[in-house]
Amino acid sequence: MTASDAALAGNPLLTPWTTPFGLPPFESIAPEHYRPAFDTALAEQQTQIAAIAESTDAPTFANTIEALERSGRTLKTVGGVFFNLAGSHTNDALQAIEREMAPVLAKHRNSIFMNEALYRRVAALYEKRESLGLSPEQMRVLDRYHTIFVRAGARLGPEEKKRLAAITERLASLGTQFSQNVLADEKSYQLVLDGEADLEGLPSFLREAAAQAAEERGLKGKHVITLSRSSIEPFLQFSKRRDLREQAFKAWAARGDNGNATDNKAIIAETAALRAERAKLLGYETFADFKLADTMAKTPDNVTKLLNDVWKPARARAEQERNDLQAQAQSIGDNIAIEPWDWRYYADQVRMARHNLDEATIKPYFQLDRIIEASFETAQRLFGLSFQELKDFPKYHPDIRAWQVMDADGRHVGTFIGDYFARPSKRSGAWMSAFRSQEKLTGDIRPIIVNVMNFSKGGTGEPSLLSFDDARTLFHEFGHGLHGLLSNVTYPLLAGTAVSTDFVELPSQLYEHWLSQPDILRRYATHYRTGEPIPEELLERLMAARNFNQGFATVEFLASAFVDLELHRRKDLSNLDASAFEAETLQKISMPREIIMRHRTPHFTHVFSGDGYSSGYYSYLWSEVLDADAFTAFEETGDAFNRDMADKLKRFIYSAGNLRDPAEAYTAFRGRLPTADALLAKRGLVLTGADA
């Protein structure tokens, strides 16, 4: 055995794991293990792919499609660990590996899906698919593989393939750099609050969280506001210091847009141009046409129609809200014009006046641990799941928690990891991912699912308190988590959340509805000091205020969706100025001056950290049309936990992965496709009278 062989033999990423439920042995993995593990895994899959492509046997489903599905298991394992940690607990060493591996992995993927001999075998099976005696799931796998090969450029000529390969490798590097730039801007910023004057207006929960953030940054005795949403949004809501609100807001809005080494505008211009070129090589007029062809929406025009249908009532509502805020400011003697850093501050006052409800009243009833329990209780009542917390398991950070998930018969369903708190090593936002996905092709492989959040920690000895929006985010991501945990398919390609972006948000957004069920809130919204349940009259006020500020929320989302779509519909992308394009697009839709996009283009990681939601940020709204209608199906039975509806929901949505076309899957659950009516009603945006 050579020294190199010995090093690989001792690499924890390449040896069998004897950890509970096959969790990665995080404490044993060091940055230097990743590159050798990647190299070994890549070589392994290249050998497997060559054996399939060069086989002299006639192609069959087993020797081609199933063989493809069996290939690359080591690469999935290594990548599953690495990319999860690159997002949730990174460092300089991991970021360097991420930059190094991005084009290597893109090149590897190209070598598979542009392999002419391999594609010929897939195409031969696809052409005679009706005569192969395949099961519906096998037919779906074959169809998806054929689509993936075609969309990856397998049918192009040698020169076009060469250019497309170069484009995808460059895009991988650009996406990695984009996300690292945003993280660098978020990590480097801190608003230090020094003394009572800087803290004016801040409630105790926010002061405690800011003190904790300061202590973590070596500033014990002070208070720090970071660019994590759970830190900056409540600061903008409560701080009486308009100058500090403006300072923090501008830093938040300017992530990736500071004209320095982490500025993302040049990356955006190059990314957009390369995406457009890629689309043209594949026969599409624009990148939006290419991207949407493989979604429920199908075309940019269909997306634009939905956005426009919601924009008119949302903008009208936002203008009413702005007038209310302006009147509130004047009523208390603040002779100002409302600016974006003022919106949350005065909105909180208007909500208090209108509903006798402010965040400082609500938050003490929303403890993180209790809301986690509420999400588990909901899963138990809908799907019969139970959760047993693990006490001794490998951790990549001391804060993470894990649970064994079991079904109603006590059988192991999977493992769920919760990573809830903000830290400098974690990118912003909230997401679900998998360290291992479910499948049955190579045995009964049970999933390991993770939810990652960025909540503020409570002060020493105090619980973490959530806003109602934070609690909704937790339910949202746990909905994604259940989509991964309940997956019940044979083939890895179809497992869990491997569906189109405008369908993948259905299980998550639908799950949010159960947070608002009175019996869930009565049981789990308990005061962190007294243990008393949320008072009935406060619960009524909370429910009555659900659509408060909905014009603002809808407008900031829609603005991001419009800019994303219009950028990728553009045919001429030479000399693109991302900031000018953003401003021009917002002017076209008459964006209210007092509101900015939820995600400005220079830090729009959904769209530019990879292809994930490019041309696809609309997906949240598209899925909301589905989720509003889907929950109505439960309401029509008079029982939010109706057993028959829950069983259909599990069968056709949560456990079905990509077994069916999304429209077919939804119709199987609901009996029909939805309209936008339930969405407008849910958001309280139904136009009446003079608004219509």
The whole-angstrom separation of Cα 307 and Cα 298 is 15
Sequence-ordered alpha helix ranges (H) in 384-500: 468-485
- The 10 Å Cβ neighbour count of residue 502 is 25
User: Across the strands, what pairs with 455?
Assistant: 421
Q: Based on the residue annotation, tell me whether 477 is a catalytic residue of this protein.
A: yes
Residue 504 carries which side chain, given as an amino acid letter?
V
CB 158 within 8 A of CB 169: no
CB 238 within 8 A of CB 203: yes
The whole-angstrom separation of Cα 221 and Cα 215 is 7
The whole-angstrom separation of Cα 660 and Cα 666 is 9
Residue 635, C-beta contacts closer than 8 angstroms, at least 6 positions apart = none
Catalytic residue among 169, 477, 505, 512: 477
* Strand pairing class (412-421; 431-436): unpaired
With CA atoms as reference, report the closest residue to 611 among 111, 179, 257, 304: 179
Sequence-ordered alpha helix ranges (H) in 447-577: 468-485, 501-515, 518-524, 536-544, 550-569
- Residue 228, SS3 per DSSP: coil
CB 561 within 8 A of CB 617: yes
Q: Would you give the end-to-end CA distance of the chain in angstroms?
A: 78
The whole-angstrom separation of Cα 253 and Cα 242 is 16
Region of 638 on the Ramachandran plot (φ > 0 left; ψ -120 to 50 alpha; else beta): left
CB 185 within 8 A of CB 256: yes
Catalytic positions, please?
477
